[in-house]
Amino acid sequence: MKVDPVADEQMIKDALGDDFDEMAEPPNIVGSKDHPLWKPIIQNLREVFDPEIPVNIYELGLIYEILITDQPDQTSDIAVKMTLTSPACPVAQEMPGMVQGAIFPLSGVGNVDVDIVWEPTWDPSHMAETAKLQLNMFM
């Protein structure tokens, strides 16, 4: 079932601004948040969408972990653990490539590994508040 968004990206930006907003952060994400690449990675992941849901995969809470490891060659390797809303997701095979494609172009990125994990199982509690607003899901 496709759900039409109540608020589009521009409406949310108008309401919340372009600066960091805690409401746009998924509650359970872990990773190298102090690394200089963290913000550009998140910014690029916000441009990747599940084709069936009009919310980006970051705010949807599909990204569980992003580890950034600096390498001797002045690059940083990125390891992403993510899930899907359902094991039967029609883009299950393409999603890791979509995530890699969003991260690879960033300056200073070396290898990008994306692993799909099924634990913990995704549910709406993983979503950022902005995603819930877009989908008219008030909990």
Domain regions of the chain by residue span? 26-53+61-123
Q: Report the CATH superfamily, name and number, of domain 26-53+61-123.
A: Fe-S cluster assembly (FSCA) (3.30.300.130)
State the Cα–Cα distance between residues 25 and 36, nearest whole angstrom. Answer: 17
Render each residue's pLDDT in the chain as its tens digit; 139 residues.
455 555 566 665 565 455 557 888 898 899 999 999 999 999 999 999 988 888 999 999 999 999 999 999 999 999 999 999 888 888 888 999 999 999 999 999 999 999 999 999 999 999 998 888 888 876 5
Entry pTM? 0.81
Q: What is the pLDDT of residue 107?
A: 95
Q: What is the pLDDT of residue 6?
A: 58
Q: What is the pLDDT of residue 1?
A: 46
Six-digit token pair at 139? 């909990």
In a 13 Å sphere around the CA of 111, the CA atoms on its Cβ side amount to 10
